[in-house]
Amino acid sequence: MENQHDYAELIERFLEGALSDDELVTFKKQLESDPEMAEVYRQRIALQELWVESTRRGMLKKQIGQVIAREKQSIRARRNIRLAAAAVVVLSVIGSLLIFNTRNTKPEEQYAAGQETPLPATEGKQNQMNEYGNIDIVKPAKSVDDFFPDEYTPMKSNDTIVFRWPSSMETRYLTIYNNKGELVKKVTIRKKIKEYMLLPGVLKPGIYYWKMMNDSTLIRITVQ
């Protein structure tokens, strides 16, 4: 063991380049002639190579980790850009739909706002109905003071439909939705107006739901 300690100290000085010229010559001769010293030297070199390899792997692992971190940041940045672009597209579509709906409902809203009494207003629109080739009017009896039409009311897409609600109800908007829950019609109703006439062709064949804005009642209707 003492010899191995001496060998180890001598080998360390050799690896550090601390041997004199004479000591270096003696070291090399002893390394060739002394098997025990040669084995200690071999183990020391193997240990050094292992340490170098371990250090190299540690540095490589660190570099790989840095590359992965940068790639994750890049992926998050690209995902945020895609989400922002998708949000812009969605907002643009919603804006277009709102503009279309506003333009589409404006004549009806102006008509509803201008009504003074229900029945004369209905009669005043009959000349315009001729262009649709139909002047059938779906309306409730005068004595009915309830929601109309309902799911039992037969209607066709080329009918003029008169919507009516209880006279006790204070409301400002009438809304109509299709079977997908999409807003089809929104009409501003002036105070004291208790019915609204929807012109032919506005509702295509299908199932719809309508309600007054301040009321929770949702009424199903079917247009043939």
List of the chain residues with pLDDT < 50: 1, 103-134
188-200 pLDDT, tens digit per residue, is 888 778 888 888 8
Contact predicate 214/175, CB 8 Å: no
What are the residue ranges spanned by the domains of the chain? Answer: 1-106, 115-223
Domain 115-223: state its class: mainly beta
What confidence score (pLDDT) does residue 145 get?
75
Three-point CA angle 38, 41, 46, nearest 5°: 125
C-alpha R_g of the chain = 45
Question: Is this structure's pTM higher than 0.85?
Answer: no
pLDDT (0 to 100) of residue 142: 65
Give the model's pLDDT for residue 60.
76
User: What is the C-alpha separation between 33 and 64, in angstroms, rounded?
Assistant: 46
